[in-house]
Structure 1
Amino acid sequence: MIPYGKHVIDEQDIDAVVDVLQNHFLTQGAKVPEFEAAICDYTGATFCTAVNSGTSGLHVACLALGIGEGDHVWTVPNSFAASANCALYCNASVDFVDINPITRNLCPTELERKLNIAQQNNTLPKALVVVHFAGQSCDMLAISALCRPLNIAIIEDAAHALGAQYHGHNVGNCEYSDMAVFSFHPVKSITTAEGGAIVTNQQALHDACQLYAKHGITRDADKLLGEVEGPWYYQQLVLGYNYRLSDLQAALGISQLRRVDSFVEKRRALAKRYLDAFSGLAVKLPEPNSISSSAWHLFMIELTEHDRKTVYEQLHKAGVAVNVHYIPIHCHPYYAALGFKPNDFPNALSFYQNALTLPLYVDLSLEQQDAVIAALRDILK
């Protein structure tokens, strides 16, 4: 069975982890700061906080912005639930902005329309979680131009987008956002098994992220209140969480990050083969102009003349483990209970109803990809 996604590990990765097991601290050692510095070097961001998942990173980003009860946070429906749950963790309310059916990313026109209504009703969001779907950056310049004058914070959910570019710069430099959050789940651009990171250019946000991700506890003498009793002394200043990344995971991340550009180039080459192979078929393809800028975390087609369930089942029978990303967040029972209805965001719903995720990962061989192409072409005849 050819999976839709798969991690890639080599001997250098294994050696890096074994070195920590044999010679270093397993947690709270030197590898996490080294990994954070490497992420900053790669993205161009000033500060980084490594955490134990992308979900933790989104939660911490919301906490750092002071999001709480009475605040509104907006995101898109076509994402994993964590993109919205992070606001609910902070007791804020959540709403969604529909996607552009061509880019599959947040639609700036729809955002502008919704912001105008919210401004009239005094219900503007405190933050917007922008999802770079499948690895392609949103139109951050347009989004920033709409949000900045209204003092709306921007969090980039860049879980899919490590290695992607926007206007010639790596996603994560935070030129048009307050923070960006990455995921290092095994099927992402690089992996730390589980893990994530928050990057920002703002010292105050970085300090808050560090605090909330580490129990709310600090040993920093400049931040301690009252008398410092001795060199062992620490204080809990806020209610934080144990979202720390281990040094084992950081060592793997450091090794993987050295190869991220080659990983993304391989994904781009495979994506181009898919685009060429499926041209003229009864499917809607991703934008071809994203070949050189997307990180290509996912390659997704939309069926235009065939039943999705039938095609899905036939591909699995042919040994191709296609997947679907994602059930729109607002369609989950939990969100339905909050009052959302499937047709509230028709573009996201339509995309979901016709979408299939094809296998795409670094170790996908050309022979395997040819088998995927042949199976789909045969089914769609």
Structure 2
Amino acid sequence: MTQKFIPYGRQSIDQDDIEAIVKVLKSDYLTTGPAVNEFEGLLADKTNSNYAIVCNSGTAALHMAAHAIGLSENDAAIVPSVTFLASANAMTFTGAKVIFADCDPATGLMTKDHLENAILRAKKAGLCPKVVVPVHLAGQLCDMEAISKVARREGMFVIEDACHAIGTTYGPNLEHVAGDCKWSDLTAFSFHPVKTIAMGEGGAVTTNSSDFAKKLELFRNHGITRKPEEFISEDTGKDRSGEWGSWYYEMSEPGYNYRASDIQCALGSSQLKKLDMFAAKRRELREKYYSLENSLPEGIRLANRVPNCSPCPHLMIALFDNDFLGKGRNHVMEKLKNDGIGTQVHYIPVHLQPYYRTQTVGVDFSGTLSFYNSCLSLPIYTSMSPRDIEVVVSSLKNL
């Protein structure tokens, strides 16, 4: 038994973060104040994007992005089955039909071939595929250039689900960063506590389109605008002087209350300022795992690394052969827990969920099922030490 419990993930909060929150609590604004604008500016800078629109969760971010492209009940959205429910559900919220894609069993990532297959299935079902949602599992990016080329050929939008990938760099010279929308229209992020950047709950969408940014801002705040240049009414909100009233707003379409508070954004800004340090530490820990991979027992290996990508790893996924060495996943997870090591499964394939299951009968998801039946997320988080990883690997050896 280890001296401490090592969870699979946890937030990293220090005194700077606490002071940032206290400062907001003592200010005049707890929500819809200057901390929101500060966070959005910092995030746009960190992602090299033109616009960053913050919201209250990664799920909201995905829903906002789906709305921005005009996804509706007449459309199909292609989503990999290896992801959290939100990637599919956010598309379903619009009335669109979700078509699930398979994945590479060694990485859990969707490829262009999986996208091509899903497009064919959508068309055979008489559906119009309007968007693809590549999911950057564990912080590793899908081959966005290849996926984007297929999507553009089909006249589809691309929404990146980068909820795991804040801080990841990619490209032949690692010259791009997740969220820059080089090969997409919009990118969604999550800032849940187990992610690299924590806001308690929080999310954001980045884009380089001013039109999309406007739609995102409206949708997260009930569809309300307070900008006179966007008003339609001729006299409803005008003072007797003929000027628009300072109190006046208009709703051009229904929206949601997806706003993030100043409290969340103050924490988010404090965390974002440490993103480079967080990413460097997580990369160091990831490399420590891979340096010890050859010492793992036969039948246990780490998920494959993808080329031209330096992930800021949210997860460290191991793959087990032969139904977890013939012992079953429950046994392995319980044994590691008894050794003081927390693990988790990412993810139960979404196409197997009761709500979606009837839509995928007879479809080949062999890559997805192979990945699901062998995957287990090992601990990785900023405050871990290399020694902690040695403890994890030692426990794996004892299985």
Query: Are the equivalent residues in 2 in contact too, given 1:331–1:341 (CA < 8 A)?
Result: no
Match of 2:397 in 1: 377
What amino acid is the match of 1:363? S
Mapped to 1, the partners of 2:7 and 2:308 lie a distance apart of 22
| Higher deviation after alignment, 154-163 or 344-353 | 344-353
Mapped to 1, the partners of 2:121 and 2:149 lie a distance apart of 17
Match of 1:176 in 2: 183
Taking every aligned residue pair, what percent have the same amino acid on both sides?
40
Match of 2:241 in 1: none
Within 5 A, what are the aligned runs for 1:125-164? Answer: 125-164=129-168
Match of 1:260 in 2: 275
- Report deviation, 1:360: 0.5
Gaps of 5+ in 1: none
The answer on 1:310 being equivalent to 2:345 is no
- Report deviation, 1:352: 0.7
| SS at structure 2 position matched to 1:126 | strand
| Higher deviation after alignment, 227-236 or 144-153 | 227-236
What amino acid is the match of 1:240? G
Match of 2:10 in 1: 6
Match of 1:327 in 2: 348
Q: Can you list the C-alpha shifts for 1:321-369, whole angstroms capped at 9, x where unaligned?
A: 1111110101111212x43349641211111111111010001123322
| Higher deviation after alignment, 227-236 or 128-137 | 227-236
What amino acid is the match of 1:205? F
What amino acid is the match of 2:313? W
Distance 1:358 1:342, change over 3 A: farther
Distance 1:73 1:288, change over 3 A: closer
Query: Are the equivalent residues in 1 in contact too, given 2:49–2:180 (CA < 8 A)?
Result: yes
- The number of residue pairs the alignment matches comes to 378
- Report deviation, 1:68: 1.1
Within 5 A, what are the aligned runs for 1:1-381? Answer: 1-116=5-120, 118=122, 123-167=127-171, 168=174, 169-227=176-234, 228-229=237-238, 230-279=245-294, 281=297, 282-288=299-305, 293-305=310-322, 306=325, 307-336=328-357, 338-341=358-361, 344-379=364-399
- Report deviation, 1:308: 2.3
What amino acid is the match of 1:135? G
What amino acid is the match of 2:385? S
- Report deviation, 1:224: 1.1
Mapped to 2, the partners of 1:278 and 1:342 lie a distance apart of 36
Mapped to 1, the partners of 2:307 and 2:278 lie a distance apart of 16
Distance 1:247 1:290, change over 3 A: farther
Mapped to 1, the partners of 2:124 and 2:349 lie a distance apart of 28
Query: Are the equivalent residues in 1 in contact too, given 2:285–2:385 (CA < 8 A)?
Result: no
Query: Are the equivalent residues in 1 in contact too, given 2:282–2:382 (CA < 8 A)?
Result: yes
Query: Are the equivalent residues in 1 in contact too, given 2:286–2:316 (CA < 8 A)?
Result: yes
Mapped to 1, the partners of 2:307 and 2:378 lie a distance apart of 17
Q: Can you list the C-alpha shifts for 1:5-42, whole angstroms capped at 9, x where unaligned?
A: 00000111111111111124101111101100111111
| SS at structure 2 position matched to 1:45 | coil
Gaps of 5+ in 2: 239-244
Structure 1 length-normalised TM: 0.95
Mapped to 2, the partners of 1:363 and 1:173 lie a distance apart of 28
